[in-house]
């Protein structure tokens, strides 16, 4: 009976940790990532998750013609240098931050409307330590051109 109680307590503790991690992710996104969008207008959609090293996340979105966009990929520092790529619907790589010192912010200007994918990869550390995990957010902003 005591073992069952212990088990239930531990399970609740772990589920609680998960919720706390999610809430911290939102706070991290709001405080650390969102300011990097300015002066672009945030599209208002929270794209954040707790990822482990080696994980990939994707954001599917549409860039409209003659519009300027900013993409901010923000990650907990312990995850290392995050790779983000912009890929079109045909798989053509339009941008990779590997070519720009793993920058977390980049601006885009589109001539025609198209469906795009922002692909974010968390590097594997290969250090043999416990698997690292942390918050990763992808934020999108557009310019008010009026």
Partner 1 sequence: MKHLKILFLLVFSAFIVSSCNNKKETQKKDVLSFDSEKELDNEKTVKKVFFNLPSPIEITQTILATKSAFNQELLNPVSNLSNYSSSSDLALNFGVYGADLCYCRVYDQLQSAIAYLAVIRKLTTQLQIPEDAGAETINRIEENIGNRDSIFQIISETYSEADGYLKENDRELTAALILIGGWVEGMHFAVNLQSNQNNQALISSIAEQKYSLENLISLIEEYKDNGAFAEIYPFFEKLVLVYSNVTITRDKSVIVTDQDTKITSIESETNIQITKEQLNEIKNLIGEIRTKIVS
Question: Applying CB under 8 A, which residues contact partner 1?
Answer: 3, 6-7, 10-11, 14-15, 18, 22-23, 26, 29-30, 34, 38, 41-47, 49, 51-52, 55-68, 86, 88-92, 94-95, 100, 103, 105-115, 138, 140, 142, 144-146
Q: How far apart are CA 51 and CA 121, in angstroms?
A: 9
Exposure string of 81-115, with b = 16+ CB inside 10 Å and e = fewer, is: ebbbbbbeeeeeeebebeeeeeebbbebebeeeee
CB of 144 closer than 8 Å to CB of 65: no
Query: Smallest distance, Å, CB 108 to partner 1?
Result: 5
Q: Give whichever of 81 and 115 is closer to partner 1, judged by the CB atom.
A: 115
Q: Give whichever of 12 and 81 is closer to partner 1, judged by the CB atom.
A: 12
Query: Smallest distance, Å, CB 129 to partner 1?
Result: 17
Q: Give whichever of 5 and 127 is closer to partner 1, judged by the CB atom.
A: 5
Is the peptide bond prior to 107 cis by the omega test (within 30 degrees of 0)? no
Query: Smallest distance, Å, CB 69 to partner 1?
Result: 10
* Rg of the chain in Å (alpha carbons): 18
Q: Give whichever of 2 and 77 is closer to partner 1, judged by the CB atom.
A: 2
Query: Smallest distance, Å, CB 95 to partner 1?
Result: 5
Query: Smallest distance, Å, CB 135 to partner 1?
Result: 12
């Amino acid at each position: 009976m005591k073992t069952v109680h212990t088990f239930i307590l531990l399970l609740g503790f772990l589920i609680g940790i998960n919720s706390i991690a999610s809430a911290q992710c939102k706070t991290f996104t709001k405080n650390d990532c969102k300011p990097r969008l300015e002066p672009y207008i945030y599209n208002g959609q929270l794209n954040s998750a707790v990822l482990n090293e080696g994980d990939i996340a994707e954001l599917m979105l549409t860039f409209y013609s003659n519009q300027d966009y900013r993409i901010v990929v923000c990650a907990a520092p312990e995850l290392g240098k995050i790779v983000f790529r912009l890929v079109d619907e045909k798989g053509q790589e339009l941008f990779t931050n590997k070519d720009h010192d793993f920058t977390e912010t980049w601006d885009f200007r589109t001539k025609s409307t198209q469906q795009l994918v922002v692909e974010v990869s968390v590097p594997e550390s290969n250090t043999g330590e416990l698997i690292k995990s942390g918050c990763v957010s992808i934020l999108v902003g557009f310019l008010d051109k009026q």
